[in-house]
């Protein structure tokens, strides 16, 4: 069972592969099993609660099963998890790759093979940035990179399974040792992979040189996920982010100049400690002016051990909820505007499978990450087809 980010999904898939290699059989999440591995997340209080509930539910349904718990929450709050009834062992973040092998590696290479069409490939782990709200560097440690030769052989293996798209994942991918650009250039040459996306990259690490090269690649898609976190410079300072809104704007403008109307998904945190009404309005104004296609919105969540935890001016939940709502409305408006601009155009769509909850439809994404649904046709799954939107 996996909670949290794409990196966790890639790592869970690698753990499952280890088990299969050792002679176990993988079953789907709702079946009963002898061993369960729960890969946890610590990003918010809510995600930790969800992890605890899942562990309890597994134990209730499978009282004699072995339950291993790993991931970021397990790294930070081992004792809390050990106390939950049914938990057999807790493996911290650095021990994640050693659930079966017992060897602790400094970086656990991982990629997912679960889906037929899209794989998540872990490029990097950990972070040296210590933004004031974030507990991830404490859970995942300092930045480490998966060696290039390992990445290339994993990408070739993914291609050999017929997967067409790879999403590069990591905690702070732009911090790849020796630079990310050489990795992108080498991955671009892997035969069989037709599409790449970068799951998320810090704006200050997205260099003009990288943008120049991506704009010439036929495989890297016109889709960027860039964390903004706040559209107010004073809040960004308190978050200890390494850029200001002017730098963020210049990156967006440069990408548009080179690549046209690309899809920008940006992360924002609503209700950081001390965020005033003015600062929040500045943020809304800034986001409107740069017009991303989508906002990934997170209400600020107090994480023990971080600098922001001890800051003055923590906002009531009601204020955070209001701000999340205002950002959601803005995101819906921007997303509709973006999609409308492509109405009637011909786009290449990679169909991934049946739409959850409606088996008569199949769904997939265009290169610029517009979701498309069409009547189900088995022959289209895993293929890239031209569609009039």
Residues that bind ligand SF4 (CB under 6 A): 127, 129-131, 134, 136-137, 171-172, 202
- Cross-strand pairs, 386: 348
CB nearer to ligand SF4: give 136 or 210: 136
- Cross-strand pairs, 388: 346
Integer CA distances (angstroms), 51 to 30, 48, 143, 170, 376, in order:
16, 5, 25, 21, 34
CB of 166 to ligand SF4, least distance (A): 21
CB of 230 to ligand SF4, least distance (A): 12
CB nearer to ligand SF4: give 47 or 347: 47
* 368 CB-near residues (< 8 Å, 6+ apart): 221, 222, 223, 261, 262, 263, 342, 347
CB of 77 to ligand SF4, least distance (A): 18
Cβ–Cβ under 8 Å, residues 194 and 149: no
Which ranges of the chain does DSSP label H, i.e. alpha helix? Answer: 6-21, 45-61, 72-76, 78-82, 136-140, 148-160, 181-188, 208-216, 233-238, 245-259, 277-290, 317-340
Cβ–Cβ under 8 Å, residues 319 and 271: yes
CB of 331 to ligand SF4, least distance (A): 20
Residue 165, SS3?
strand
**DSSP state, 316?**
P
CB nearer to ligand SF4: give 48 or 202: 202
Buried b (16+ CB within 10 A) or exposed e, 201-224: bbbebbeeebbebbbeeebbbbbb
> What's the distance, CA 4 to chain centroid?
8
CB nearer to ligand SF4: give 129 or 254: 129
CB nearer to ligand SF4: give 195 or 241: 241
CB of 153 to ligand SF4, least distance (A): 27
CB of 286 to ligand SF4, least distance (A): 19
CB of 137 to ligand SF4, least distance (A): 5
Residue 376 CA to residue 384 CA, distance in Å, equals 14
CB nearer to ligand SF4: give 134 or 339: 134
Residue 137 CA to residue 131 CA, distance in Å, equals 9
CB nearer to ligand SF4: give 86 or 137: 137
Six-digit token string for 349: 């769509």
CB of 380 to ligand SF4, least distance (A): 37
CB nearer to ligand SF4: give 127 or 295: 127
CB of 175 to ligand SF4, least distance (A): 8
CB nearer to ligand SF4: give 175 or 279: 175
CB of 89 to ligand SF4, least distance (A): 27
Torsion of CA 226, 232, 236, 237, to 10 degrees: 150
CB nearer to ligand SF4: give 93 or 172: 172
Six-digit token string for 314: 């923590």
Residue 364 CA to residue 115 CA, distance in Å, equals 12
């Amino acid at each position: 069972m996996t909670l949290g980010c794409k990196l966790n999904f890639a790592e869970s898939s690698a753990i499952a592969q280890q088990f299969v290699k050792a002679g176990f059989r993988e079953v789907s999440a709702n079946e009963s099993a002898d061993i369960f591995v729960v890969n946890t997340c610590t990003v918010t209080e809510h995600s930790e609660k969800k992890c605890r509930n899942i562990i309890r539910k597994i134990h209730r349904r499978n009282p004699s099963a072995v339950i291993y718990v790993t991931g970021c929450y397990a790294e930070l709050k081992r004792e809390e998890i050990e106390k939950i009834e049914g938990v057999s062992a807790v493996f911290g973040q650095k021990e994640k790759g050693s659930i079966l092998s017992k060897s602790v590696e400094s970086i656990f290479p991982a990629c997912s093979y679960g889906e037929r069409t899209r794989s998540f490939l872990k490029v990097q782990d950990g972070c040296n940035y210590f933004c004031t709200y974030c507990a991830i560097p404490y859970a995942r440690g300092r930045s480490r990179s998966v060696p290039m030769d390992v990445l290339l052989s994993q990408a070739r293996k993914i291609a050999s399974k017929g997967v067409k798209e790879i999403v590069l994942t990591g905690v702070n991918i732009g911090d790849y040792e020796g630079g990310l650009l050489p990795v992108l250039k080498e991955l671009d040459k892997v035969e069989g992979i037709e599409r790449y996306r970068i799951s998320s990259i810090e704006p200050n690490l997205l260099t003009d040189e990288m943008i120049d090269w991506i704009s010439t690649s036929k495989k890297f898609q016109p889709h960027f996920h860039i964390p903004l976190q706040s559209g107010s410079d004073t809040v960004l300072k308190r978050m200890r982010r390494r850029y200001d809104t002017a730098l963020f704007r210049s990156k967006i403008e440069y990408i548009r100049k080179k690549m046209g109307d690309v899809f920008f998904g940006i992360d924002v945190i609503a209700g950081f400690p001390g965020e005033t009404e003015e600062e929040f309005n500045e943020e809304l104004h800034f986001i409107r002016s740069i017009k991303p296609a989508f906002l990934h919105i997170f209400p600020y969540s107090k994480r023990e051990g971080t600098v922001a935890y001890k800051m003055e001016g923590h906002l009531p939940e009601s204020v955070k909820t209001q701000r999340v709502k205002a950002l959601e409305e803005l995101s819906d408006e921007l997303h509709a505007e973006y999609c409308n601009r492509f109405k009637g155009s011909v786009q290449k769509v990679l169909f991934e499978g049946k739409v959850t909850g409606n088996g008569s439809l199949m769904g997939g994404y265009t290169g610029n990450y517009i979701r498309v649904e069409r009547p189900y046709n088995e022959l289209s799954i895993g293929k890239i087809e031209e569609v009039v939107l």
